[in-house]
Structure 1
Amino acid sequence: MPTKQGEERAVVTVLGSDKVGIVAKVANTLAEHNANIIDISQTLLDDLFTMIMLVEVSDLSTDFESFNQALTELSDELEVKVKLQHEEVFRYMHRI
């Protein structure tokens, strides 16, 4: 997916046991930090929930590290793994 001039993007991944409210709470945290969801994919296999979100982070209401810390705290609250990576890092690590 091509980026617009000046657009900074990141990938949020979520992995863990399925439970009510994961998508809502992650989306809420993104909105609170002014991160815009560009694309989202989620899968449920038995009780294993996975979600990958491509988000625009050009206009965050805070710095990237503070945003990452908020997602880490959410990870602890939901008892799932929530990871934030710059899009380029994610693509480099997951290329085939």
Structure 2
Amino acid sequence: MFAIMTVTGQDHTGIIAAVSTALAELDVNIHNVSQTIMDKWFTMILHVGFDDAALTIADIQERMTSVEKEQGLVIRIQSEALFSAVNDI
């Protein structure tokens, strides 16, 4: 399954490391990533893939909750199917 994850928050050292480490621990693969810093704000969009027989989007969001708290971020993940459906309308 594929999903889109967004990460936003005040820029500081270690954001990419914290997010990618948490994803790797869940065996979630990062297929593509785009990130930018606007003034003091960090934003990142990730296209990720994972085995939906072993893991759900809710599982990933739950794991990312600790990263959010530790890093002071807002992290959201949604199924890629949602974005595809919206574009098909």
> What interval of TM-score do these two structures reach, taking the shorter chain for normalisation?
0.7 to 0.9
Deviation at 1:32, TM superposition (A): 0.2
Deviation at 1:63, TM superposition (A): 3.7
Please give the alpha-carbon distance, in whole angstroms, between the structure 1 residues aligned to 2:85 and 2:68.
24
Residue in structure 1 matched with residue 14 of structure 2 by the alignment? 21
Q: Which runs of 5+ in 1 are unaligned?
A: 1-7
Q: Which runs of 5+ in 2 are unaligned?
A: none
Q: Could you give the per-residue CA deviations for residues 4-62 of structure 1, whole angstroms, max 9, x where no partner exists?
A: xxxx1011100110000000010000100000000000000110100000000126754
User: Structure 1 residues 33, 42: CA separation in 2 closer, same or farther (over 3 Å shift)?
Assistant: same
Assess if the C-alpha contact under 8 Å between 1:17 and 1:48 holds in 2: yes
Assess if the C-alpha contact under 8 Å between 1:34 and 1:59 holds in 2: no
More helix by share: 2
Please give the alpha-carbon distance, in whole angstroms, between the structure 2 residues aligned to 1:60 and 1:54.
18
Residue in structure 2 matched with residue 30 of structure 1 by the alignment? 23
Alignment of structure 1 residues 22-61 onto 2, 5 Å: 22-58=15-51
Residue 82 of structure 2 aligns to a residue in which SS? helix
Q: Percent identity?
A: 33
The amino acid of 1:45's aligned partner reads M
Q: TM-score, normalised by structure 1?
A: 0.79
Residue 70 of structure 1 aligns to a residue in which SS? helix
The amino acid of 1:19's aligned partner reads H
Q: TM-score, normalised by structure 2?
A: 0.85
Assess if the C-alpha contact under 8 Å between 2:57 and 2:78 holds in 1: no
